[in-house]
């Protein structure tokens, strides 16, 4: 006999155990039904939890479809189990008695439909809670247990086409043993994306949602923190890119052509209906994923500037601000928020938003702008971003090339290792995060690259609020000429011009022999219109009789001129009109310009006194005499980086001859003789200095030294390529 009464909804734990900083999962018994459980406009179901402190945590319930995964013929096969229903995920942030209530909202009316309670035990040893921006120094992250979290890891954005989540079983198992604690995942059309095609519009892809569940849970068990990138630039492309794909806009769920609200790509960021759809997806993701302690942060987009040809930057910035503020109001765990731009991209308006918790920088050395070396790049980005935006910066994509894993350009992994150490030792939030994760795992590089650094940092408390970079003088890269060598024979030196647009280093050569000055002259001679990009082209040389300079002009922009100066006096000048009307380096002139030079010791300069740039292929000096080379006074012998918390310090030293790409292919690097670095900023007193092999992660020697008047002289032994030191006060 029916009484007409409806049983109250309740949470049923899966399983029945609850601990602080550990995610609890519940099914909803006697929950409401909905025509579309993914659409909160139809029905919204929330769980509100209150602990002993009285603090309430509100979480959306989410619709869940269960799957099993199998491996058949080497491929992952996902099979729905037939189990579906409402789920709630909740991570307690305090122990003790917790009460909850369930609320259902339909048509703007909210109704309490059930309540209950359960007890939460204290956190287990090693539980860390959620990730926060460290709010004093604002360089690093920390976890709720108060421990610093310098990010040591790599991108690992999606699984392969065949083995699915089993790839992450292999990849993540390799992290903790090698001291790694971070990765980045993409919610993209081929992995983890929930709402890509028209069929998925507010009908989220449950197979991929389950795979992301599995991967975040695996990361949690392995002690890995995840930057979750929720969209990528390829959803706005209409034509295949350099990889032959990534053109998803024609079939995207928000495109009008598929029944969505957006007439064009920019309307994704301006159309009110698109914003409403996106917030629904965010609500679902908050309900399903925010309770994972492994979720470090939300990243809205990968490299959104790559498709700015379809978008208005101001609209993109305003959209990020609105959506980040929505997350701040609706994500109870307050995960940090960010986004990213492609190589060299920055957009200050984005990083100045208070709603962006931290900044990202991507860099591949073949698309590197003014940057040629990984460690100096990391130092400049860390210094500039902290100064300009007062928030952490993560170099969250890096590669010696963006065109593929190219071991032939970095056969000894110096470009990879110097980026990993460079991120830590210059004040970014962690290591530079390399791309090409499948190749690095296959070649077993985690133990070679990250484990030594992890051992070096262990026990230092690195990443706490007091840690900051120490400014140390850097080698100028220039030499001066000494005396001419007796009985020296005249020689010809052909200096190839190179470098990237905007690159500032180099430009001056002491031509002591035919091999001097390689890689120092720049392709672009900038004129008045881009004076801020100008790099000199100067050659100090001892010249015999009948000497000459030959300049090979490739192309010009508008109003370019070529001048040759000797000791500041102009000896040649000629305008170079833009013959083809283009502004490309395309062999427009392909012409040698030869100018005679006087004998003796001279400074020869190639200049552009005109308007826009002139591009050179090479500069050749004939009739030069060999000379000794002299380093300028007080020019440091090494490239040194240091970090300190005011009590102890970490020091990393690179031989400039092997500052990648310098010496990248040398199989037998020459040792650099012992020398010294003066380290400021430590209290006066006695210190123990441990020298470390950066490839073995082992101490190679110790010495003692004293800091006086705020300076500690660190005398380092001879080393090859690089070395490091831990500096601690003696008690």
Which residues have C-beta within 8 Å of that of residue 125, sequence separation ≥ 6? none
- As given in the structure block, the two tokens for residue 641 are 């980086």
Listed residue (513, 506, 570) closest to 541, CA to CA: 513
Residues 115 and 136 in one domain: no
Residue 95 lies in a domain: yes
Domain count across the chain: 4
Residues 501 and 539 in one domain: yes
Give the orientation angle of helix 206-221 with respect to helix 272-289, to 10 degrees. Answer: 40
Helix, strand, or coil here: 197? strand
d(CA 676, CA 31): 71
d(CA 497, CA 617): 5
Segments of the chain with pLDDT less than 70: 1-6, 477-478
Any idea of the CA torsion for 524, 530, 531, 535, to the nearest 10 degrees?
-20
Residues 239 and 280 in one domain: yes
Q: What is the CATH number of the domain that holds 93?
A: 2.60.40.10
Residue 281 lies in a domain: yes
Q: What is the pLDDT of residues 707-716, one digit of tens each?
A: 999 899 999 9
- Asked whether 598 and 582 are in contact (CB, 8 A), the reply is no
Indicate the burial class of 727 (C-beta count within 10 angstroms; 0-12, 13-18, 19 or more): buried
Q: Give me the half-sphere count of Cα atoms (radius 13 Å) on the Cβ side of residue 313.
A: 12
Residues 173 and 319 in one domain: yes
Residue 610 phi, psi (nearest 5): -85, -150
pLDDT of residue 591: 96
Residues 149 and 254 in one domain: yes
Strands (E), 146-283: 182-186, 225-229
- As given in the structure block, the two tokens for residue 375 are 């460690």
Residue 370 lies in a domain: no
Helix, strand, or coil here: 658? helix
- As given in the structure block, the two tokens for residue 213 are 């569940």
- As given in the structure block, the two tokens for residue 456 are 């070096």
Residues 156 and 44 in one domain: no
- Asked whether 666 and 683 are in contact (CB, 8 A), the reply is no
pLDDT of residue 4: 45
Residue 471 lies in a domain: no
Any idea of the CA torsion for 634, 636, 637, 640, to the nearest 10 degrees?
170
Residue 473 lies in a domain: no
Q: How far from 177 is each of 171, 417, 442, 446, 519, CA to CA, in Å?
A: 12, 18, 16, 9, 40
Residues 204 and 281 in one domain: yes
Residues 247 and 336 in one domain: yes
d(CA 113, CA 131): 33
Reading phi first (left if > 0) and then psi (alpha if -120 to 50, else beta), residue 395 is in beta
pLDDT of residue 243: 87
- Asked whether 601 and 542 are in contact (CB, 8 A), the reply is yes
Residues 95 and 164 in one domain: no
Residue 394 lies in a domain: no
Residue 393 lies in a domain: no
Q: Give the domain range for residue 661.
A: 639-729
Q: What is the CATH number of the domain that holds 690?
A: 2.60.40.1180
Q: What is the CATH number of the domain that holds 550?
A: 2.60.120.260
Residues 557 and 579 in one domain: yes
- Final residue of a structural domain among 589, 612, 630: 630
Residues 608 and 661 in one domain: no
Which residues have C-beta within 8 Å of that of residue 109, sequence separation ≥ 6? none
Residue 51 lies in a domain: yes
pLDDT of residue 198: 97
Strands 182-186 and 141-143: what pairing? unpaired
pLDDT of residue 485: 95
Q: Give the largest CA-CA distance in the chain.
A: 118
Count of residues for the chain? 731
Residues 57 and 200 in one domain: no
User: Residue 439, preceding bond cis, omega within 30 degrees?
Assistant: no
pLDDT of residue 477: 66
- Final residue of a structural domain among 65, 93, 120: 120
């Amino acid at each position: 006999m029916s009484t007409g009464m409806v049983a109250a909804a309740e949470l049923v734990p899966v399983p029945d155990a609850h601990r602080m900083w550990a995610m609890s999962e519940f099914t909803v018994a006697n929950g409401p039904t909905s025509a579309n459980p993914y659409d909160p406009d139809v029905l919204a179901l929330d769980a509100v939890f209150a602990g002993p402190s009285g603090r309430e945590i509100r979480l959306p319930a989410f619709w869940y479809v269960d799957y099993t995964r199998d491996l058949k013929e080497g491929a992952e096969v996902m099979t729905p189990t037939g189990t579906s229903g409402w789920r709630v995920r909740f991570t307690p942030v305090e122990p003790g008695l917790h009460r909850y209530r369930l609320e259902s909202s339909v048509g703007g009316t909210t109704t309490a439909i059930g309540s209950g309670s359960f007890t939460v035990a204290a956190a287990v040893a090693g539980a860390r809670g959620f990730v926060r921006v460290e709010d004093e120094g604002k360089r690093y992250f920390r976890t709720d247990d108060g421990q610093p979290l310098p990010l040591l890891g790599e991108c690992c954005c999606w699984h392969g086409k065949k083995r699915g989540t089993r790839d992450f079983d292999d990849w993540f198992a390799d992290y903790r043993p090698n001291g790694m604690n971070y990765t980045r995942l993409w919610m993209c059309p081929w992995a983890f994306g929930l709402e890509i095609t028209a069929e998925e519009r507010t009908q989220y892809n449950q197979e991929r949602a389950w795979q992301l569940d599995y991967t975040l849970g695996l990361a949690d068990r392995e002690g890995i923190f995840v930057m979750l990138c929720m969209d990528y630039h390829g959803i706005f492309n209409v034509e295949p890119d350099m990889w032959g794909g990534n053109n998803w806009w024609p079939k995207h769920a928000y495109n009008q052509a598929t029944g969505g609200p957006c007439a064009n790509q920019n309307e994704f960021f301006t159309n009110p209906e698109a914003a409403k759809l996106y917030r629904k997806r965010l609500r679902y993701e908050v309900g399903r994923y925010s309770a994972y302690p492994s979720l470090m942060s939300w990243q809205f987009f990968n490299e959104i500037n790559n498709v700015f040809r379809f978008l208005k930057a101001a609209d993109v910035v305003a959209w990020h601000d609105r959506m980040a503020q929505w997350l701040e109001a609706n994500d109870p765990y307050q995960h940090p928020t960010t986004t990213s731009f492609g190589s060299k991209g920055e957009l200050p308006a984005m990083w100045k938003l208070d709603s962006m918790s931290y900044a990202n920088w991507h860099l591949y050395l073949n698309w590197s702008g003014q940057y040629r070396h990984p460690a100096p790049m990391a130092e400049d980005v860390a210094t500039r971003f902290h100064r300009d935006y007062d928030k952490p910066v993560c170099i969250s994509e890096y590669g010696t090339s963006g065109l593929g894993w190219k071991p032939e350009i970095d056969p000894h992994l110096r470009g990879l290792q110097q980026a990993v150490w460079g991120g830590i030792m210059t004040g970014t939030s962690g290591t530079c995060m390399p791309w090409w994760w499948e190749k690095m795992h296959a070649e077993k590089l985690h133990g070679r690259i990250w484990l030594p650094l992890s051992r070096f940092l262990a026990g230092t408390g690195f990443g706490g609020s007091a840690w900051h970079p120490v400014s140390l003088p850097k080698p100028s890269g220039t030499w001066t000429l000494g005396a001419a060598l007796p009985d020296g024979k005249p020689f010809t030196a052909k200096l190839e011009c190179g470098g990237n647009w905007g690159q500032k280093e180099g430009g001056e050569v002491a031509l002591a022999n035919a091999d001097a000055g390689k890689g120092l002259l720049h392709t672009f001679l900038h004129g008045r219109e881009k004076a801020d990009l100008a790099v000199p082209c100067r050659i100090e040389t001892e010249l015999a009789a009948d000497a000459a300079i030959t300049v090979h002009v490739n192309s010009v922009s508008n109003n370019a001129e070529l001048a040759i100066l000797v000791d500041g006096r102009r000896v040649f000048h000629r305008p170079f009109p833009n013959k083809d009307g283009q502004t490309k380096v395309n062999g427009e002139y392909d012409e040698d310009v030869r100018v005679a030079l006087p004998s003796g010791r001279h400074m020869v300069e190639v200049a552009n006194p005109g308007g826009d740039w002139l591009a050179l292929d090479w500069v050749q000096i004939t009739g030069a005499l060999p000379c000794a080379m002299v380093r300028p006074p007080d020019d440091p012998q090494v490239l040194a980086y240091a970090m300190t918390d005011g009590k102890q310090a970490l020091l990393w030293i690179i031989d400039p001859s092997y500052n990648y790409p310098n010496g990248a292919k040398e199989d037998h690097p020459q040792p650099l003789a012992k020398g010294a670095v003066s380290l400021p900023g430590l209290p006066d007193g006695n210190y123990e200095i441990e020298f470390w092999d950066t490839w073995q992660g082992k101490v190679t020697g110790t010495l003692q030294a004293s800091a006086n008047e705020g300076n500690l002289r660190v005398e380092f032994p001879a080393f090859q390529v690089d070395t490091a030191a831990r500096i601690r006060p003696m008690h």
